[in-house]
Amino acid sequence: MFNGKRVFVSGGAGVIGTALVEKLHRTGAKILVGDLQKRPAHWPEDIQYRCGDLNYITQTEISDFSPEYFFHLAATFERSTESYNFWSENFHHNILLSHHLMSLLKDSKSLRRVVFASSYLIYDKNRYLFSSPAEKPVPLHEGFPIQPRNLTGAAKLLHEIELGFLSSFPNIQFSSVSARIYRSYGKNSRDIISRWIRQLMKGQEIGVFRLEGIFDYIFAEDVAEGLIRLALSNTTGVVNLGTGRARRVSDIISILKTHFPSLRTSTVESTIPFEASQADMALFKQKTGWEPANDLESVIPLLIKNESQEPITNLEKSPNVLITSVSRKIPLVREVYKAITKIGRGGNVFGADSNPNAMGANFTDSFWRMPSLQDLTVNQLIEYCHQNGIKIIIPSRNGELSFFANSKAALDRAGISVMVSEPGAIENTTDKLKFSQTLQNYHLPVIPAFENLEELISCDRVVVKERFGAGSTSIGIDLSKDEAKSFSKKLETPLFQPFIAGTEYSIDVYVDKFGCAKGGIARSRDLVVDGESQITTVVEIPQLVTLCLGAAEKLQLRGHAVFQVILDKNCKPHIIECNPRFGGASSLSVNAGLDSFYWFILESMGNNISDYPFVPPKPGLRQIRFPEDRLIQL
């Protein structure tokens, strides 16, 4: 059936999606799931999972997977009455999301079939909603008049029209079908049946309104089966997916009473109309030869059993993030915001700095005038984080890396992840002498470093720099030995290296929490001011990336790091140094696909980022850093 087929499922961790994915997996499909929720713990590892807002999935990610089938289930909705705040939520997670995903997929050479989970809310509400109870349900067939009931229905209709628009062009290689789904219910769900069961299991009274309402309730497992059968059929356009056997709300209460004899109800006053709707399933049966067999009597016992074993979990909110030494690092702040937005579950960015006038304070949700590190204890830091719901810390200054590395274990025990390597790795990178010696021990092409100028025997031109810290402004390059000796007197702890003529590159890398290098990007340093690239461009030099990824693993780095490497006239690489944190111009690499902050947040939330492929970018993407104004209405 789907054996070996590549299937992309949006919203695959929802109630219907979970049933669908598990059915597809049993048939041998290769599956990519995208969802805001955390990956279901019981799913096998070969199901590729992308946690986050699919509005931010990229063309590269889609092209890398090359789906043949696309089941679009991801959506948001509110029952009965939509709230004021649903205005923007509907646009983002329904209208914008559907359009974005099909924009990425419409020209795919691999895609053959699209199955869209639409809704019966598209039909003319005036035909099945009444001011008084109806005697029987109104059968809604595919040719029934259209008048969307709410924003959700309107969004579903819009995407049906979009799919119809695409199908009219001869260059489109896929076919599509939109399943207008009725009232689904299922395991670990938030539907009214499941909510009532949970209340009754706690001995609570359940509130009931509109007992006379008539709905077509369809079990999520049946919806999933129906979607699969539509995918394998030649059906196009729209088709109903319900049971064709509507039931009254009072029927549900009667069934529940057989399982909960002491069931107590209270009548909830409501002004909403009485519904009486039912799917006309004639077209579906004609096209697939199948119809749902499950009914409320057979499914409700399964839901009761499931609730006793598998309590519902709330959608985990994105963690708040603290950026320390935020200073003027506006690009870094913006990339962290992007990462939180991609997760798609809220979350705020806190900035911290000992300077109360730090410019970055104006670009974060909240600012903390952080004590200097010598006056700050780990317990004080933990207390601040717990008070503000902060679960992630991103240090951004070399001088604080040792503090956070030494505090990492205590922070981890407190439920706070910090993007920093272990103390030994920090020492071996921030101490440039140890860095050189360590990489030499690994037989990597690092520029040798010496504490004494006299040790530089076989070279005439010299580089002098501070042994510790960034020190980009305290460096002498291409000096004679006499000049180097004079220059070194200005430095606290001078270090001497042979001068290597060539072109310098920055290589951004990310190493996951298991110590495996995730990916790397090489950048040319086209314009450098005070040691930082003001203009930098992605270049394709695989040997540099491979070299630095290997060095990062040898050094046991974690998170984001930046290597500086020189290619000499013979194209031989020479590693200069490594900054074990996010660099000033590293935002280019993030935008080119090295999604460090997104990956780190995912890891801190318990996700395995091996499900998130890194695809090396095409060369030529350039970043130009410049000051800009920001206007704020006070």
Residue 304 belongs to some domain of the structure: no
Residue 486 belongs to some domain of the structure: yes
Residue 259 belongs to some domain of the structure: no
Mean pLDDT for the chain overall:
94
Q: Mean pLDDT across the stretch 501-515?
A: 97
The verdict on 32 and 85 lying in the same domain is yes
The verdict on 572 and 596 lying in the same domain is yes
Give pTM, 2 decimals: 0.85
Q: Mean pLDDT across the stretch 472-496?
A: 89
Residue 471 region, left (φ>0) first, then alpha (ψ -120 to 50), else beta? left
Residues 6+ apart with CB under 8 A from 455: 496
Q: Which pLDDT band, with edges at 50, 70 and 90, does 119 fall under?
A: very high
- Per the structure, the complete domain to which residue 469 belongs is given by 448-499
The verdict on 551 and 599 lying in the same domain is yes
pLDDT in tens, 190-242: 889 999 999 999 999 999 888 999 999 999 999 999 999 999 999 999 999 99
Q: Mean pLDDT across the stretch 242-257?
A: 96
Residue 458 belongs to some domain of the structure: yes
pLDDT in tens, 34-48: 999 888 888 998 999
Query: What pLDDT does 471 receive?
Result: 55
Q: Mean pLDDT across the stretch 508-513?
A: 98
Q: Mean pLDDT across the stretch 318-343?
A: 94
Query: What pLDDT does 586 receive?
Result: 96
Owner of token pair 């070279």: 459
Q: In this structure, what are the phi and psi dihedrals at residue 209, rounded to the nearest 5 degrees?
A: -130, 150
Residue 214 belongs to some domain of the structure: no
Q: Which pLDDT band, with edges at 50, 70 and 90, does 474 fall under?
A: confident
20 pLDDT above the threshold of 80: yes
The verdict on 589 and 472 lying in the same domain is no
Neighbour count for residue 367 (Cβ, 10 Å): 17
Using DSSP bridges, classify how beta strands 573-579 and 559-567 pair: parallel, antiparallel or unpaired.
antiparallel
The verdict on 35 and 138 lying in the same domain is yes
Q: What is the largest CA-CA distance in the chain?
A: 102
Angle at 216 between CA 214 and CA 219, to 5 degrees: 135
Count: domains in the chain? 4
The verdict on 586 and 562 lying in the same domain is yes
Higher pLDDT, 252 or 208: 252
Query: What pLDDT does 531 receive?
Result: 77
Highest-confidence segment of 244-258, 297-311, 607-621: 244-258
* 3-state DSSP assignment of residue 464: strand
CATH number at residue 362: 3.40.50.20
Q: Which pLDDT band, with edges at 50, 70 and 90, does 316 fall under?
A: low
457 pLDDT above the threshold of 90: no
Q: Which pLDDT band, with edges at 50, 70 and 90, does 78 fall under?
A: confident
Residue 36 belongs to some domain of the structure: yes
33 pLDDT above the threshold of 70: yes
Q: Mean pLDDT across the stretch 439-443?
A: 97
Give the distance from CA 118 to its chain's centroid: 24
| Spatial separation of the C-alpha atoms in residues 344 and 315, rounded to whole Å | 11
The verdict on 460 and 506 lying in the same domain is no
Of 171-175, 345-349, 464-468, 542-546, the range with the lowest mean pLDDT is: 345-349
Residue 41 belongs to some domain of the structure: yes
The verdict on 30 and 135 lying in the same domain is yes
Burial of 142 (0-12, 13-18, 19+ CB in 10 A): middle
Residue 348 belongs to some domain of the structure: yes
The verdict on 96 and 162 lying in the same domain is yes
pLDDT in tens, 523-550: 999 998 877 889 999 999 999 999 999 9
Q: Mean pLDDT across the stretch 558-583?
A: 97
469 pLDDT above the threshold of 90: no
Q: In this structure, what are the phi and psi dihedrals at residue 452, rounded to the nearest 5 degrees?
A: -115, 135
Q: Which residues of 494-516 are buried (b: 16+ CB within 10 A; e: fewer)?
A: bbbbbbbebeebbbbbbbbeeee
Give the domain-ending residue among 440, 474, 499: 499
The verdict on 329 and 474 lying in the same domain is no
The verdict on 349 and 287 lying in the same domain is no
The verdict on 582 and 617 lying in the same domain is yes
Residues of the chain above pLDDT 70, percent? 98
473 pLDDT above the threshold of 80: no
Give the domain-ending residue among 499, 533, 568: 499
